[in-house]
Structures are given as structure tokens and as C-alpha cells.
A and B are shown apart, each in its own frame.
Chain A
């Protein structure tokens, strides 16, 4: 696959390069749109396209005005703060509850495993608009609508499937003879949990937590229905920004978010490598 053999025919060659060009185009489709907003967010003019100055790399065509606009706008700052508050709170809740449940679910003695699993995964499957509408009615009836607690609980529910899936996946490769070995060497159950089990499942827990965080950080449908003026999160601010009057400030925000996802991806990749190294898989 990587190189053409010497006996390749002309047709083989055309196919080989044609296929690679096709794949390159698909990669451009995947990543191009995300990259193109980065230079556009430095536009000196309030346009969403490249100006002549930008194309001729004239420094006058570039500016940080949209970033300044973003940082000096109280609404955006409040929205970021809210996003982090809600995101962190719901991540902690989802991770603790989800990890405990995953530990229980991965025990061979667990009854009704399939049924419970599908209930726990359901927030990921049910269309968001239905979850959001349902939560709106129910949380309003118990006075949780338009409160931080309501948004946090809702986001926790949405983040839980990711924690459960990643942690159970990590545990499915877990060698239970390790805990037995620990016990036979005299470790108490809690000692062997903290010293043997936890270090091995930590990567799964962290990546589950990251998923839960990004789910909350990126979630807008439930927030549209549940949040009041005080709980406006960043996605909600973006959503109303795009709907009402799209300004290049949104591109500056988008660029910051892309930078965040690059950071996240790096953390996850490092975790994956650590996990593989710990399990003795070298790649």
C-alpha cells in the first residue's frame, strides 16, 4: 500500500495517485473549514472573507480587534465563566457517579447488566431536543429551571454515558487476577483498589471526564430551554450571536475553542499512549 511495486501498470499508477488525491481532498473537507476560520478571525475588517490586504499579507489587513472585542465584552466573559462553572461541576458529578457505576457494571456478578447499561447510555441516544423539552417541563415543576443546579444536573446526565462507556471499556481489558494477586499478598480490598485498580483505570476515567466536560462545554440545546439570563453559557452566547447578527467576534471565540480542542486531543493522545504502555502494548 505504501509504495508502488516496480511491476505496477500505468492503470495501477493512475489508480494509486488518483486514490491518494481523493483522500487528500476528503481530508481538506474535514480539516479545511476549521483551519480557515483561524486567519479570518484576525481580519481587520468586519467581513467573513479574505480582504485584499490579507491576501497580500499586508500587516494592516490583520488585527486583534475581534479578540479585544471578545475580552472586553461583559456578556462573553460571564458566559465563559458560566461554561466553566457548569462544565466543571457536572464533570465532577458525572465522573464520580459514572466511575462507581462502571466498577459495578464490570463485575461478573452484576444482574440485569444489559438493561441497566441501556438506561445509563440513553441520554446519549435520545435526541437532544426531546431531552431538553422534557427537562424543561420537569425541572420547571420542581423549580430547578433557570438555576445553576438545574443546568448542572442536566449536563451531568448528558455526560454520564461517556464516562460509563470509557471506564467500562478500560475495565473490560482489566486483568482481575491482579487484584487477586494483591489480596493474596495481603492487601486489603481498599488498599488494592487504590494501589492496583485505580492507577490502571485512571486513563479511562480521565478521558471519560474529558468527554463529559466537552459535552457540557459544547452543549446548547438543553441550555436554550433551561437557562435563565444568569446561566448563559458560551455556546448559548454563540448560538444567539449566530442567529441574531453574526460578527467576527464569533470567529475569535471559535478560534479559541479550536485551540482548546487541540489541547484536549493532545491530552487524550498522551493518555492513550500511557495506557498502552502500561498494558504492555507498544506501537
Chain B
């Protein structure tokens, strides 16, 4: 901004009356130098702008950013053993991890088990350790129940008597590792990794991997949806951009109406259409393309999710494509044709490169939206159409392994934020056109 523009923008704020002072340069009516007045006015405007934004910023920080951050933190928080078994945690501090710990550690264990059993908190420790080693839940619960009867030492032998698991150094290594207030184990689990008996990080065996394949599936499905959206959206956007405005405005309604229709309605409608007793199957039977027994399973699987998601996200591809295509001058294509390019070459080498921006904007938008999809896969996805969001919901609501839900959330969030920053850099987030 040049000095002149600033002056023009703030003249009314400073009450500018240019006149030549006796010793300094230009001053305002009350005698302050113009530079000072301008700076003051600028500061005041800046303050005003910040005051206008502040309420919303605070609102979003409190109602949204803090909760999301809190959720992400759950992916690394590990309070159970640290808080419920403080004595054991402290006693294990000096243990070097070789062989079995000494008697004081066992004494601390018995005390912690007793108090944990009394306060009924020990179940949380049992659940937490069960995530690390299968079967630890019953071992801890049983030990806690019986530890209440141990009156005096030596505790080491007594505990090993109760459950042989206490005689294994591996158990103690896990407890020591997970007694830290923060842990990597949820994040590792979310990447299908874990610790082996020696405490080094390894991949899970192929057959037990769940999350990496699910992430891959989510990415592949999102990419497929994006591709379908390009294939279906490009011709339509081209038509809309090249028709006379009156006609294209009319046809635009056909794009905008689905855009504005409830997501649940659009998902429902695909269930109605594609289910085995649905309209499409009925039509195929009626046309004798398939037998009544041979109805095609088109929904409650991956196909259903792909079709419904493409339908729902297609407007997000058409709208940015359309606005870019509107700016492409038609004369370039005609020039290419007149220079001897056949229509395909002219289209591919002259038209398409000018719409790459639109393809990029639409694709990123569709891809970002689809990797976080939850509702549609949950309703029409069946088993094979589930995505990572559905797994997060499962851990939130069914398995109640909130740490793992948090860790999966962190990974998904990281993925989305990376894509978002690319989008922001390439297109600018405030350039999203709506309606």
C-alpha cells in the first residue's frame, strides 16, 4: 500500500488538514505531525479489525479447536497405570529391565492392587494392559482380588503363586513402559505396529493387520470417487460453461438441487434404488436382463459406498470446474482448429491444460471430503465399504478404546491437514465457491 492510499483510506479518521508547519513537515489540524497521526489512525483501524474478529476466534477456539486438540491428545495420553498404580510406577523407576524386579516392587504392586481393588479403579489398569498383552485383564483382576488376602511378605513369591504372569520379566517391562504418563503404543497400534517381548517396535504379522489396510482402502476408495467425479463432472461442466447463459442456468439447477438436498436423503435414495428388492433390480428383472433369483447385490458393500459417495460429491467437482471453464476463451480452441489440430488434439492440448486449476481444486476438495466420510459408508457400506471414520466411531462407541480412537483420529487429521494446506497453497481456502 502506498502512502497516498493510506492517506486516502484514513483521511476521515485523522481529520487531515494539510498545512505547512513552522519547523516540521505536514501536520494535522491539532499540530501533530502527519506521520504520527497516520500511524495512530492505522493502529486504531487495526484494533477495530481485531476487535471484530476476536469474539468469533475465541468462540471457535473454545468450542472447536480445544475439543479437537483434546481428542488428538487422547491418542498419546496414558494416565491409567501412572495414576492408579503410583507406588509401582515409582518403584519401577530404578529397575533396569533385566530379570525380575526386586521385592520392594512386588510390595508396591500388592499395595497398589489392594487400594485399586478397594476404589474399583483397578479395572481401568486391567483394560489398559489388556490392549498391550492379551489376557492381562483377567490376570490383573484375579490378582487384585487375591492380593487383598496377602497380609505380609515376602510378596514376590506370593504374587507369582497367584498368577505366573508376575514371574515373567516381559510383563514387568510392559508395565514399566506403560507407566509413563504418555505413550506411543496407541499410535503404533493405529499403524499396525507394536512392541515385541524385548520392547523394540515391530510390524504386526500380516494376518493381524487391520488399520493400515483400512487406511489404504480409505485412500483407494477416495481416489476412486475423485476419479469418477472427474469423469462425470468434466463433460457436464464443459456443457454448462459453453451453453448460452439462460440454458446453463436452468441446467445448473440439476447440479445445485442435489447439492442442497440432505445427505441422509441422498443416501436413503440409493438404498431404495439399489437394494435387492429395489427399483434398479426390479427394472433389470423386468427387462429380463437378470433372473428374479439372480438379483445383483449393489448396496451394503463397496459398490454401494462408491456410487452413493460419487453422487453426493459430484457437485463439489462440477462447481469449481465450471467456474474455471467459464474463464477459458473459446477463441483458443478455434485457433487450434484453424491451425490444423484435429478436435481431439485441440481439446487435449489446448483446452484441458487451461482447466487444470479447476480439476485440481475439485479433486482436492472431493478427496478431502471423502477420506473423512462417515455417514454414507456406515449406512450403505456393509462390511467391505467401511472407511477409517467408521473404525473411529466403532472404537468410540463399541470397543470404548478411546486412546486408539484418538490415535486413528490423529492420523486421519494429519492426512486431512496436509491435503488442506496443499489446497490452501494452490487455490486459497477463501476461494471455495458455494452455490
Contact = CB atoms under 8 A, between A and B. Distances in A.
Q: Do A and B bind each other?
A: yes
A169 B260 contact: no
Interface in A183-221: 183-184, 207, 211, 214, 217-218, 220-221
Contacts of A251: 268, 272
A135 B9 contact: no
Contacts of A148: none
A97 B63 CA distance: 13
B49 interface: yes
Interface string B372-384: 1111001100000
A116 B269 contact: no
Nearest to B236: A26
Nearest to A139: B67
A37 B272 contact: yes
Interface in A129-162: 129-131, 133-139, 153-154, 156-157, 160, 162
A48 B49 CA distance: 55
Interface in B376-435: 378-379, 389, 392-393, 396, 402, 405-406, 409, 412-413, 416-417, 420, 424, 429-430, 432-435
Main secondary structure of the interface of A (DSSP, over half): helix
Contacts of A162: 434
B50 A261 contact: no
B71 A130 contact: yes
B253 A265 contact: yes
B411 to A, nearest CB: 10
Given A110-B46, A264-B260, A48 B235 contact: no
Interface string A159-177: 0101011101100100010
Contact of A116 (B53, B264, B330): B53
A36 B273 contact: yes
B253 A138 contact: no
Interface in A213-257: 214, 217-218, 220-221, 225, 235, 238-239, 242-243, 246, 250-251, 254, 257
B272 A36 contact: yes
Interface stretch (A65-73, A74-82, A100-108): A100-108
Given A105-B53, A108-B1, A117-B430, A123 B64 contact: yes
Interface residues of A, number: 97
A53 B402 CA distance: 52
B255 interface: yes
A276 to B, nearest CB: 12
Interface string A5-22: 000000000010001101
B271 A122 contact: no
B116 interface: no
B260 A127 contact: no
B282 interface: yes
A75 to B, nearest CB: 16
B53 A133 contact: no
A27 B250 CA distance: 12
B60 interface: yes
Main secondary structure of the interface of B (DSSP, over half): helix
A242 B264 contact: yes
A261 B268 contact: no
B409 A130 contact: yes
A272 B261 contact: no
Interface string B57-72: 1011101111111111
Contact of A127 (B11, B242, B372): B372
A110 B53 contact: yes
Nearest to B429: A121
B256 A265 contact: yes
A63 interface: no
B308 to A, nearest CB: 9
Interface in A252-283: 254, 257-258, 261-262, 264-265, 268, 272, 283
B266 A34 contact: yes
A50 interface: yes
Contacts of A217: 262
Contacts of B277: 47-49
Contact of B65 (A108, A119, A254): A119
Contacts of A220: 263-264, 375
B375 A119 contact: no
Given A33-B311, A36-B272, A137-B70, A283 B389 contact: no
Contacts of B46: 109-111
Nearest to B280: A49
B148 to A, nearest CB: 32
Contacts of B53: 100-101, 104-105, 110, 116
Given A101-B56, A261-B257, A180 B49 contact: no
A87 interface: no
B268 A137 contact: no
A103 B69 CA distance: 28
A29 to B, nearest CB: 7
Given A109-B46, A126-B413, A272-B435, A242 B272 contact: no
Contacts of B373: 127
Contacts of A265: 253, 256-257, 260
Interface string B229-261: 000100110010011110100010111111011
A27 B236 contact: yes
A258 B434 contact: no
Given A22-B235, A34-B266, 10 more contacts: A48-B275, A49-B277, A104-B50, A122-B68, A127-B372, A131-B68, A180-B8, A242-B268, A250-B268, A261-B260
25 contacts: A1-B242, A26-B232, A30-B255, A30-B258, A30-B311, A31-B258, A33-B269, A48-B275, A48-B277, A100-B52, A107-B45, A109-B42, A109-B45, A110-B53, A123-B60, A125-B420, A126-B416, A130-B68, A133-B71, A134-B68, A165-B434, A176-B9, A254-B264, A261-B261, A264-B260
